[in-house]
Amino acid sequence: MPSPRDTAATETLSFVELTELLQRIFLRHGTSPAVAQVLAENCASAERDGSHSHGIFRIKGYLASLGAGWVDGQAVPHVEDVGAAFVRVDAGGGFAQPALHAARALVVEKARHAGVAILAIRNSHHFAALWPDVEPFAQEGLVALSVVNSMTCVVPHGAQRPLFGTNPIAFAAPRAEGPPIVFDMATSAIAHGDVQIAAREGRALAPGMGVDGAGQPTQDPKAVLDGGALLTFGGYKGSALSMMVELLSAALTGGHFSFEFDMSTKPGAQTPWTGQLIIVIDPDKGSGQSFAQRSEELVRQMHGVGQERMPADRRYRQRQKSLAEGIVLSATDLAHLQALAAR
Ligand code: NDP
Ligand code: PYC
């Protein structure tokens, strides 16, 4: 799908209008109403917050995977209460977000009661930004950490061939006087979606992000996408985190490792068929209700030593702008989305 930069002509939609449009698209392309609602809200939230690599840019991939029969848009998640602090969900070959949605209330109840709750989702496809999965917990005063693995395209540090996925980690914590502290980052040097966007826009990657098909360093995004691979961020440190994400998202949940499925069997398929882990903590069990004050103090001290930009600040600023002025899409993108909704 073209980006807003491709054309000067733009259109503005409210968050509700974009969500409803995306919902119609998902419904038209084979998802149940419940799945359409969850995915549309997730995707519109990403677009609203300027998470462009996981907003409407992803619609084509979602629809291709649905059309290929690779992901089940009608899947009904099966939630199992397996322990005082453990919930397990079989997503049934559907998307991860409806699985989280189905288990969420039970997870929050357990976290408040036991102090911690673990949600292990398997047999699931995650094609989105990870922050929408953790931020709402922090808005309720809880701390949340999530990991999800993706598809083989990242070379472990020191290795010769790709094995890991881009494997993001997202974290959210409440603070007393501001929106939650949130970070959400791939453990690869760059997200695969951003490589695709760079290729489309003809931009070179920064050095040290990828290799070509012969394993040689390259800054050409097309060489990375065409038989090449990505590196982890921070060398062996990011590589160890990526390994951890594989273990927690796949080995612990019963999902696939990033290298354990073959999308080429279903032409068009793009969504990684993996697993996801979410850990939710009631911080007041540890700190006696002072956590939000303590996190505020940390932020104050970080600002004090000169860190002006906190993770999520850019998103929050973009969110405020989008909510006040509307979400700006290129006229071409909007026309394309409307055609998909009508098809
Ligand atoms: P970025 O490198 O753009 O950002 C990572 C984090 O760092 C964000 O929280 C960002 O905040 C923050 N940040 C960025 N710049 C600064 C700065 N100068 N100072 C302080 N904080 C900063 O994200 P990635 O490219 O690593 O990931 C992009 C998206 O791709 C994520 O949403 C991720 O979940 C998604 N993804 C999804 C996968 C999946 O399998 N579903 C796989 C891989 C990635 P801010 O948001 O405000 O910019
Ligand atoms: O951007 O790396 C990525 C990605 C993989 C799956 C969904 N997004």
> Residues 295, 138: contact at Cβ < 8 Å?
no
Provide long-range contacts, Cβ within 8 A and 24+ apart, for 264-267.
Answer: 266/65, 266/68, 266/69, 266/70, 267/68
> Relative to the alpha carbon of 153, which ligand is closest?
2
> Relative to the alpha carbon of 61, which ligand is closest?
2
Identity of residue 27: L
Q: How many CB atoms within 10 Å of residue 3?
A: 16
Q: Do domains 76-188+233-311 and 190-231 have the same CATH topology?
A: no
Give distance in angstroms: CA of 54 to centre of ligand 2: 8
Q: What is the pLDDT of residue 289?
A: 76
Give distance in angstroms: CA of 75 to centre of ligand 1: 29
- Is any ligand 1 atom within 6 A of the Cβ of residue 126? yes
**Residues whose CB falls within 8 Å of the CB of residue 40, separated by 6 or more in sequence, listed in order:** 19, 20, 21, 22, 23, 25, 26
Burial classification of residue 26, based on how many CB atoms lie within 10 Å of its CB (0-12 exposed, 13-18 middle, 19 or more buried):
buried
Active site (catalytic) residues: 53-54, 194
Helices (H) and strands (E) in the chain, counts: 12, 13
What is the third-level CATH fold of 190-231? Wheat Germ Agglutinin (Isolectin 2); domain 1 (3.30.60)
Give distance in angstroms: CA of 343 to centre of ligand 1: 33
> What is the residue with the minimal CA distance to atom 5 of ligand 2?
150
- In angstroms, what CA-CA distances link 70 with 95, 137, 208, 259, 269? 11, 30, 33, 16, 6
Q: How many CB atoms within 10 Å of residue 289?
A: 10
CATH of domain 76-188+233-311: 3.30.1370.60
Give distance in angstroms: CA of 204 to centre of ligand 2: 19
Q: Give 57's DSSP letter.
A: G
Q: Which CATH architecture has domain 1-67+312-343?
A: Orthogonal Bundle (1.10)
Pocket of ligand 2 (CB under 6 A): 53, 127, 150, 166, 186, 191-193, 272
> Residues 42, 84: contact at Cβ < 8 Å?
no
Q: Where are the domains of the chain?
A: 1-67+312-343, 76-188+233-311, 190-231
Q: Which atom of ligand 1 is nearest to the CA of 130?
A: 34
pTM for the model: 0.97
**Residue 102, SS3 per DSSP:** helix
For 128-164, the three-class secondary structure string (H helix, E strand, C coil) is: CCCHHHHHHHHHCCCEEEEEECCCCCEECCCCCCCCE
Mean pLDDT by 10 residues, the chain (343 residues): 60 98 98 98 98 97 98 98 98 98 98 98 98 98 98 98 98 97 98 97 98 98 98 98 99 98 96 98 90 97 98 98 98 98 92
- Is any ligand 1 atom within 6 A of the Cβ of residue 317? no
Alpha-carbon distance 209 to 231, whole Å? 5
**Residue 17, SS3 per DSSP:** helix
Q: What is the pLDDT of residue 4?
A: 45
